[in-house]
Amino acid sequence: MADFERFRIMLEEERNRKLALLPALRADISSASAARLDSNVDDEHDPEGATIAFELSQASALLQQSSSGLVQIEDALERLADGTYGVCAICGTPIAPGRLEARPWTPYCIEHAAAGRQGSRG
What is the identity of the amino acid at 2? A
Distance CA 100, CA 113 (A): 12
Cα–Cα distance list, 39 to 9, 35, 43 (Å): 46, 6, 10
User: In this predicted structure, what is the pLDDT of residue 2?
Assistant: 64
Distance CA 17, CA 8 (A): 14
Q: How confident is the model over 27-40, as a mean pLDDT?
A: 70
Cα–Cα distance list, 2 to 36, 72, 94 (Å): 52, 21, 10
Q: What are the residues facing 87 on neighbouring strands?
A: 94
Distance CA 65, CA 33 (A): 19
pLDDT digits (tens, 9 = 90+) for 49-72: 567 777 788 888 888 888 899 999
pLDDT tier, 33 (very low <50, low <70, confident <90, very high otherwise): confident
Out of 27-31, 79-83, 88-92, pick the least confident: 27-31
Distance CA 107, CA 97 (A): 12
